[in-house]
Structure 1
Amino acid sequence: MRRRNDKSRREPTIALINIVFLMLIFFLVVSTIAAPLDANLALVRTEGIEGTAPRMC
């Protein structure tokens, strides 16, 4: 009987870790490059909105 090579079983995990690490770096760089929001920006208030579905015609 041949023993399985342990190295071949570890490769998918290492590849997944590499992809997640690259995505993390990408999002960190993109978030620092993005332009800041305008200081005069006013957010919408939703506390008084009714939660009903629109009427069907």
Structure 2
Amino acid sequence: MTGDQKAKGKKEQAKGKAKEAIGRAVGNERMEAEGRADQSKGDARQAKEKAKDVFKH
């Protein structure tokens, strides 16, 4: 389960980076902002999973 969540976090981060880059390239501020939001969600998921790992051991 933890590995799935970590992978999901990485996927969200990558998707967000791509979306942000595309938004910046075409001048779409909304897409750029959505990309940053996706990255933040991925970062939060990663942090949550890391915290779980710390308390497991």
TM-score between both structures, scaled by the size of structure 2: 0.47
Higher relative contact order (CA 8 A, sep 6+): 2
Greater Rg by CA:
1
TM-score between both structures, scaled by the size of structure 1: 0.47
